[in-house]
Structure 1
C-alpha cells in the first residue's frame, strides 16, 4: 500500500478513495476490496474518530449487539440484546479493518475535493491524491447546531454541545439546563440526574420507542417487519419533513414522564433569552409529552399488526415502567427561568447536527443548505458517492444496519460505470 505522499500529482490514479473510517467508510472499503478495486480510506484521525471524540463516556449503541455488526460478520456472543459501549464499538471497527486488511490512511484530513482532467483531485494534509471515484463517508451528523440566541447568554454560563459532553463531573457545580429532548438530550439528562445533579430539560417534539416489546428488542421487530425499509419520500409524506429519530434508551425505555419521576424539571421548548439572564420557554410541554406517547403507541400497533398478519407466536405486551410512571409536572407551568435564582451554571445544547462538506468544491455536489445532493447516495456528478447519511434512502439509512445493503449497492454502481 502506497502512502499519500507517494500518490502525488502525476502519480497513480486510484480506482476509488473513501473519505472517513467509521462504520460506513469501512463497509464500503470492504466491498471495494472484494471487487478488487485499488483504493484508499482517508481518515482525519483514527479509525472511528467521531465515535471516539463526539460521544460521552457512558455512551452505548442504540442497536442491540445482534444488529451491531459489519458486512460479512454476524453476532455469536452471549448477549445478543446487549448494547456495546463507545469504546467497545471503536474496538469492533478496528478489529474489522485489521481482519480485512483495509487500506486505512490515518491522520489524513481532506481539505479540498475538486475535479480536473477527468479525475477527482483530493488535497490532504499528507499530499495530493487522484481517484476515478470518491465515496464520502464523513457523516451528516457531526457538526452541532445551536439556536441563534445561544450567543445572548451570559459569558459566565458554561455552554457545550452534546458532542462535547463527557460526564457530569466535567461540568461546574450547580444546576444544568439540557436543551432538546431527542436521543442525546434525553440520555444526557438521565445521566446527569443519575449523578445527582439538578437538571432542567427543555423538551421538544420528538417521538419515543420502547426498548423492548412483546418479548423482543424493538429494533429487531422494526427491522423484521419492514418498518425501517420505509422510503425517505414516504417518511416526508407522512410527517411533512424528516423528523428526528424517536428517543430510544440503550438499555431501557426513556420517557419524559420517567425523567420527571427522577426529579428532572420538564419545560416547554426553549424560545429565547430575555434581558441576558432570563430564559423563556413555550407552553407546549403537555403537547410534547403527548406526541412522544402517541409515537410509542403507533410503533406498538405496527408491531402488533405485523405479529397478527404473520402469525408469530409472541408473548402479550407487558406494561413498561417508564411509560406507566406518573409524570411530575411543574405547577404552575414554568414559562421562564432566572439563571441566578435557578442556580443554572451550564447549558448542554442537544439541538441537532449537520454535516460539514464545505471542503467539497464541486458545482452541483451540494444543495442550497450545503448538504449532499444525491439520489440513494449517488450524486449527479459521475464517480461521486455519499454513504452513511441519515435518512438517505430509508429509515434505516444512517444507522449501522444500513451499510450491509448500502455498501455493495454503491460499489456495484462504481463497477458498472467504470
Structure 2
C-alpha cells in the first residue's frame, strides 16, 4: 500500500491550486485524477467554449494573469494549456488516469482504493468540482422516431448533432450559449426557459464581474445573506465570453430567431409538454436585473436612468406542446446543470440531501476536506479566480491538523 500525508482527489483548478499551496508549506501530498489535468474542461465542454469570466479575474495562487488581453475571455483549450503549465511550474505530483473507487476511515486516517492500487493518507481533500454528474430531471423515452437526447456536457458542435431542429432545455449560461451557436449555424432552435439570471456583459463601460467584485458581491458568505438556500440554488448567469463583449441572453436569442417557450414539465414517447410560465420567468429575471443595476449605479455614484439591456418580449402565443411526429426536433439538449456524486466516500460526512457536510470546506469527519464547490467559503468559491483564497485557507488548516495529530509534514 502506498502512503501519503495528503491525498487530493481531482486535478482541476481547485486540486492544482491546493497542491501549489501545500507545496509552499512543505506539506507532502499527491493528486489523484481520473483522467488528465483539467479533464472535465477537456471532455465535458463544447469546442467553441470561452470562459465567462475575464482573464484578469482567473488568477490562481502565485500566478496572476500577465498576458496582453486582461479583459479578454480565454478559450477552453487555452485555459487547459494554462492549467497544465501552472501544474508543471508548481511541480504538482499528479497521478493521471487513476480513478478513486472508495475512501474509508482506517485508524486515524483513510484508506483509498483506486484503479492503480491502494493508498493510505492522514488527510483527504475532495476537489472533484461542483459540476460532477450531469442532471437530467426528466429521463427521455426511447423508441422509434424519438429525437436524440444528450446532456450539455456531451455537446461538442452543431455538425455533430442529428439532422433537424434542436430543443435546448435550460436557459442559464450553457443553455443560452448552445442555443446561440446552434441558431447561428442555421438550425431551428426552441429554448425551454425556466428560472434564470440575466445581467449585461458590460455595464457603465466595465465588465459586469468588475462591478460584482468591486462591490464585494462575489466575496459574500452564506452567513451574510438573508436567504442562503435561495443563493445556493441561484442559476448561473446568462453570459458568454466574446471578443466583442456582446450579450447572449433571451432578447438577443429572440433577435436571431430562437423560439422561446416555458419550462419543460413532461415528456413521453409522443410529445413534450411545457408550462405556461414563460412570462413569469422573464418578468422575475428582468426585475432582478434592474435591481442589481440600480445597486451598481448607486455604488458608482451614477444617477440611475432606469434603462438597461433590451427587454425580452413575451410571445403573444407560447408553445405548450411539441409533438415528435412532425419531426421538428432531431435532438434534445439538456442544459439542466449538475449534481454531486460521492458514492466512493464511505464516510459519515453527508447532509440529508446527499451533499458533503462542511463548514468553509472543513467537513464533519476529521481530516476530510472539500474544495472547489459552490459557496464553499464565499460566493465565488467555484470560480477559477475564487478557488485560490479557499485553497490557501484549506492548506493552512491541513498543515495545522497534521501538526496537531503528531505527523510532521515532509
| TM-score, with structure 2 as normaliser | 0.92
Give SS of 2:68's match.
coil
Asked if residue 376 in structure 1 is aligned to residue 360 in structure 2, the reply is yes
Structure 1 residues 301, 239: closer, same or farther in 2, change over 3 A?
farther
Structure 1 residues 207, 35: closer, same or farther in 2, change over 3 A?
same
1:146, 1:349 within 8 Å by CA — same for their partners in 2? Answer: yes
CA distance in 2, matches of 1:183, 1:292: 14
Asked if residue 157 in structure 1 is aligned to residue 147 in structure 2, the reply is yes
> What's the counterpart of residue 405 of structure 2?
none
Instruction: Quote how far apart the aligned CAs of 1:236 are.
Output: 6.4
Instruction: Quote how far apart the aligned CAs of 1:336 are.
Output: 1.1
Equivalent position to 2:342, from 342, 357, 360: 357
CA distance in 2, matches of 1:206, 1:76: 34
Q: Which moved more, 1:29-38 or 1:241-250?
A: 241-250
> What's the counterpart of residue 88 of structure 1?
78
2:294, 2:304 within 8 Å by CA — same for their partners in 1? Answer: no
> What's the counterpart of residue 413 of structure 1?
397
Structure 1 residues 386, 128: closer, same or farther in 2, change over 3 A?
same
CA distance in 2, matches of 1:383, 1:132: 7
Asked if residue 324 in structure 1 is aligned to residue 317 in structure 2, the reply is no
Asked if residue 338 in structure 1 is aligned to residue 323 in structure 2, the reply is yes
Equivalent position to 1:247, from 222, 238, 255: 238
Give SS of 1:133's match.
strand
CA distance in 1, matches of 2:219, 2:144: 45
> What's the counterpart of residue 198 of structure 2?
208
1:214, 1:317 within 8 Å by CA — same for their partners in 2? Answer: no
Equivalent position to 1:306, from 299, 307, 311: 299
Structure 1 residues 325, 362: closer, same or farther in 2, change over 3 A?
closer
Deviations along 1:259-283, whole A, 9 cap, x unmatched?
1111000000001025x21211111
Instruction: Quote how far apart the aligned CAs of 1:110 are.
Output: 0.6
Equivalent position to 1:195, from 161, 171, 185: 185
Aligned pairs, number: 398
Deviations along 1:321-344, whole A, 9 cap, x unmatched?
xx32663x5442211111232511
Unaligned runs of 5+ in 2: 403-410
Q: What does 1:270-281 correspond to in 2, within 5 Å?
A: 270-273=264-267, 276-281=269-274
> What's the counterpart of residue 171 of structure 2?
181
1:146, 1:351 within 8 Å by CA — same for their partners in 2? Answer: yes
CA distance in 1, matches of 2:74, 2:305: 26
> What's the counterpart of residue 403 of structure 1?
387
Equivalent position to 2:125, from 120, 135, 155: 135
Q: Give the root-mean-square deviation of aligned CA atoms.
A: 2.1
Give SS of 1:121's match.
strand
Deviations along 1:11-66, whole A, 9 cap, x unmatched?
5x422111100000001000100000111011111000000001100011011011
Instruction: Quote how far apart the aligned CAs of 1:171 are.
Output: 0.5
> What's the counterpart of residue 92 of structure 2?
102
Asked if residue 76 in structure 1 is aligned to residue 66 in structure 2, the reply is yes
2:146, 2:324 within 8 Å by CA — same for their partners in 1? Answer: no
Unaligned runs of 5+ in 1: 1-7, 309-313
Equivalent position to 2:371, from 366, 387, 402: 387
Instruction: Quote how far apart the aligned CAs of 1:156 are.
Output: 3.1
CA distance in 2, matches of 1:278, 1:210: 35
Structure 1 residues 72, 332: closer, same or farther in 2, change over 3 A?
same
